[in-house]
Each structure stands twice: as structure tokens, then as C-alpha cells.
């Protein structure tokens, strides 16, 4: 006699029998509005420059960036995060292009806002690493160490010029103590209470940033372990989270995404603001490289990785596949292959 509530009466596989059944009971769904496109714009180039370590990603020209932004809008992507790559000769010890109203990032912000208006959230990376000749995220002291408080002064100025250039959201990514409060004050001082702050709350000193450094033409000497977080730590992230919220963060981020899903879940369970995760360059490049070798199914791997990040608690995901995935999410072929 069958005893219901245990096998053979209970058969969870009944809810996995067909793609339609699996779609109906799926607990986690990706939507184009979940996605944010990181994009690089390079000064002084007439054609997009492919990034060797990130197949399919380029350093944009101003014109190709505007086209990419328009494509993101059409696909239903929520935002675009801009990173400026100045000419090498313009870099200096204090990252002057980062506060020059005519620096490449500020020019690109104006370009994209003119192209898409408010149809796409235009976000700006607020950091000095792309603009300094030493490649660090802040100003160095006489001993070559990143000077936290001197760097905050530069961040305040950057926030104001980025807001003036059209950023809806600024993303302080340098992991300086007190950066969120200083940026909030700087924005409010110029009457830009409307500009939101995406806090890079848990940004780890990760080996997976490698391809990104090619993407931004990094001049880094040494490493960033004195300001980015130790991959071994969890409580440190929760402390950073509390501080960022106290200082006025509107959204909080975990970066990288895939190797830190436990951190992402902890953060998501602890806050009532939107949680963002950044699927970084190394995560992207590993899937692309393995797919190129024929070792994995590219489309399924992309969707699986993004679904895992969403399942762990991310409200939004920065991913270099944002526009592609958004375009394909509604396609029956994509859904069938993923299931």
C-alpha cells in the first residue's frame, strides 16, 4: 500500500517533466530590466578597439558608444555603466582627466545622455584608477601608499563633474573609507540630491579582474590589497555595508559576483535597498574562452551563471552580456535551450 508523503507517492520529478512545466514552476526569472551594461570608451580612437582578453567586448569610440547605448535601450536593459580610458599622455599622479569637464568620461556621459535621455540609467565609474599614471584608485602619499583622505577630496570633485555631465547614478568604486558620505555631501552641495549613489560595498581584491585591466589600459604598479577587501572575510563586508548605508548609499554592490554568492546572499538578506552584483571581466572571459574551445555550451552557461547571481539575491546585475541576453530572453529558442 502506498504511503503518501514519501516515495513512491511523492515524486518531485513530476515538476520537471517538460520545458513548459519547468518554466511554470521556476523560482527565479531573469528580465532585461535586471541587467546593466558596463561599457568602455577610449579617447582618441576612430574605430572600436577589440579587447583581446574579453572576446566580443571593445573600447568604444564616442559614436559606437552612443550606438551601444541605443541598442541597450531597445533591448530593455536598465542601465549603462561608463568607464573612460584617457590617452596615456593625459594621465598623471592625481588623475586629472577624472575631474576635467572635457575628460573622456565626462564627454561620454554627455554623449550618452544626449542620445538616450532618461530612457536608460546612465551610470559613471567614480574612481581614479583609469586616470592615474600609477594605476591606483587614489592619490599616493610620499611613501607610495594610497592616501585615503586626500583621495576623498578628489572623489568629491569627480562626483560633481560627473553629475554635471549627466550621470543619473555615480558608482564610487575605490573602497576608500568614508567615500559614500563625502560623495553624498559633494552632490548635495551643488543641488544634485537627485543623483543616486551605487556603493561598491563589498569589492574584493580578486584575481578575476585581470581582463578589465586591459580594458581600461591600467597603469597599475603593485596591487590594491590595502583598500580592496580580503577574499577570506565575510564580517568585513557586513561592516562595510552598515557604514555605506549610514553614509547614504542608495544601492549597494557585491563585486565580483560568481565567486562571492555567499556574500551576495548575506547582503541581500540584510538590507532594504536594491542589491547589485557585478559579473566581472574574469567571469565573462572564462565562459567565453571555454565556449571557444568547445568545452561548454556558451548560451546555457551564460544564462546559468546569471540565474545563479539573481537567485543569490541580486536585484540587478552588471554583465558584459547585458544587451545580448536582454535581446534573447524573450526568444523561445533561448529559453528552450536553457531548459
Catalytic residue ranges: 203, 255
Task: State how far the Cα of 319 lies from the Cα of 35, in Å rounded to an integer.
Answer: 7
Residue positions counted in the chain: 339
Task: State how far the Cα of 17 lies from the Cα of 15, in Å rounded to an integer.
Answer: 6
| Residue 44: φ, ψ to 5° | 80, 20
Report CA-CA distances (Å) from 256 to 23, 284, 319: 28, 11, 11
Burial 308-327 (b: 16+ CB within 10 A, else e): bbbebbbebbbbbbbbbbbb
Closest CA to 64 of 101, 111, 25, 114: 111
| Residue 195 in grid coordinates | 543623483
| Residue 17 in grid coordinates | 517533466
103: which DSSP letter? S
The string of DSSP letters for 133-175 reads: SS--SS-B-TTS-B-HHHHHHHHHHHHHHHHHHT-SEEEE-S-
The label of the residue with cell 546555457 reads 300
Three-state DSSP state, 229: strand
Burial 125-143 (b: 16+ CB within 10 A, else e): bbbbbbbbebbbbbbbeee
Amino acid at each position: 500500500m502506498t504511503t503518501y508523503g514519501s516515495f513512491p507517492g511523492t515524486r518531485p520529478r513530476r515538476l520537471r517533466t517538460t520545458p513548459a512545466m519547468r518554466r511554470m514552476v521556476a523560482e527565479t526569472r531573469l528580465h532585461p530590466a535586471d541587467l546593466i551594461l558596463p561599457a568602455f570608451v577610449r579617447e582618441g580612437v576612430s574605430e572600436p578597439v577589440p579587447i583581446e582578453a574579453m572576446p566580443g567586448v571593445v573600447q568604444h569610440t564616442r559614436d559606437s558608444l552612443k550606438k551601444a547605448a541605443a541598442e541597450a535601450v531597445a533591448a530593455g536593459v536598465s542601465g549603462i555603466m561608463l568607464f573612460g580610458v584617457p590617452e596615456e599622455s593625459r594621465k598623471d599622479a592625481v588623475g586629472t582627466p577624472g575631474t576635467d569637464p572635457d575628460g573622456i568620461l565626462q564627454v561620454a556621459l554627455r554623449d550618452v545622455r544626449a542620445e538616450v535621455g532618461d530612457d536608460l540609467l546612465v551610470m559613471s565609474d567614480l574612481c581614479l584608477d583609469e586616470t592615474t599614471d600609477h594605476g591606483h584608485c587614489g592619490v599616493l602619499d610620499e611613501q607610495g601608499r594610497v592616501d585615503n583622505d586626500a583621495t576623498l577630496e578628489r572623489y568629491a570633485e569627480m562626483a560633481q563633474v560627473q553629475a554635471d555631465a549627466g550621470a543619473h547614478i555615480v558608482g564610487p568604486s575605490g573602497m576608500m573609507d568614508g567615500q559614500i558620505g563625502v560623495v553624498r555631501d559633494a552632490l548635495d552641495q551643488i543641488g544634485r540630491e537627485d543623483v543616486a549613489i551605487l556603493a561598491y560595498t563589498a569589492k574584493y581584491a580578486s584575481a578575476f579582474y585581470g581582463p578589465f585591466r586591459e580594458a581600461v589600459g591600467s597603469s597599475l604598479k603593485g596591487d590594491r590589497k590595502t583598500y580592496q577587501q580580503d577574499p577570506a572575510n565575510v564580517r568585513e563586508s557586513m561592516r562595510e555595508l552598515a557604514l555605506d548605508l549610514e553614509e547614504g548609499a542608495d544601492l549597494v554592490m557585491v563585486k565580483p559576483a560568481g565567486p562571492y554568492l555567499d556574500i551576495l546572499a548575506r547582503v541581500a538578506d540584510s538590507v532594504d535597498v536594491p542589491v547589485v552584483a557585478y559579473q566581472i571581466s574574469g567571469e565573462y572571459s572564462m565562459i567565453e574562452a571555454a565556449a571557444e574551445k568547445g568545452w561548454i555550451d556558451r548560451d546555457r552557461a551564460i544564462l546559468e551563471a546569471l540565474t545563479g547571481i539573481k537567485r543569490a539575491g541580486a536585484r540587478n546585475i552588471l554583465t558584459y552580456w547585458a544587451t545580448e541576453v536582454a535581446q534573447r530572453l524573450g526568444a523561445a529558442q533561448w529559453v528552450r535551450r536553457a531548459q
